[in-house]
Amino acid sequence: MLQDHRRIGCEVFDQRRPFTFKLDEDGVVKPYAKKFEWRLSDLKPFFYDKKLVERMLSRGSDPLIYETYWPSWETVEGVIGTGTEIIHPGKIGDEYYHSRGHFHEKAINSEFYVGVKGHGRMLLQSPEGEVVVISMEPNEIAYMPPGWGHRAVNVGRERMCCQFVWLLDSGHNYQVIEEGGFLKLLLERDGKPTLVDNPLHGK
């Protein structure tokens, strides 16, 4: 293992050495090496109201849904990494803006999400199909158990910012989510986030 650790390193720091990160006033990890933006057009499979998505896109409305910021990690077994996820406030119909969500390819790996700003929820689904919602408010540390798929959802009116900490060799499996999505969705009902059966399942 030590041999592996001698190899690792990246553009902004050396993964073999101790260091600290700082979150800036927007809650973004510094230093970071890469930033990704996810617009509605990138996320078509991940919102249930396909007709509304197509209508919005055809009239030129392609909102920015979320952003991620990453130090440029080199994947090594047993080494952890961190990054920032910012989900903008908004809804597609009654479905709150959210990240794609994923399962880990290496299902024995767990993960933490730390709430930094705004009002978030984590939507989780077990390998057996149990769906659970937990809150992710500022200073709250949300635990993703091994095998559970997870998605961050912004249920507030401001930007929701969180910091994830995961094992770099976890791998991300988006396919399960893309092919019909989570079994339940977090939708707004009577002004409140409510867990509702995903209408795309059972069709």
Closest to Zn ion by CB, 145 or 199 = 145
Using CB under 5 A as the criterion, what x/- string covers residues 112-131 for binding Zn ion? --------------------
> Of 12-20, 40-48, 105-113, 133-141, which segment contacts Zn ion by CB under 5 A?
105-113
Binding-residue total with Zn ion (CB under 5 A): 1
**Residue 67 touching Zn ion (CB under 5 A):** no
Q: What is the closest distance, in whole angstroms, from the C-beta atom of residue 176 to Zn ion in the complex?
A: 13
Please name the residue that has the structure tokens 């990054």: 83
The position carrying tokens 């908004």 is 90
In angstroms, the Cα distances linking 107 to 88, 89, 151, 171, 185 are: 29, 30, 16, 9, 22
Nearer to Zn ion, 85 or 111 (CB): 111
Strand partners, 94: none
Measured in degrees and rounded to the nearest 5, phi and psi for residue 57 equal: -65, -40
Q: Which of 167, 159, 168 is nearest to 27 (CA)?
A: 159
- 67, 85, 95, 111: which one binds Zn ion (CB under 5 A): 111
Cβ partners under 8 Å of residue 54, min gap 6: none
Among 78-86, 111-119, 154-162, 180-188, the segment contacting Zn ion (CB under 5 A): 111-119
Closest-by-Cβ residue to Zn ion is 111
DSSP symbol at 73: P
Nearest distance, CB of residue 99 and Zn ion, angstroms: 10
Residues of this chain that interact with Zn ion (CB under 5 A) are 111
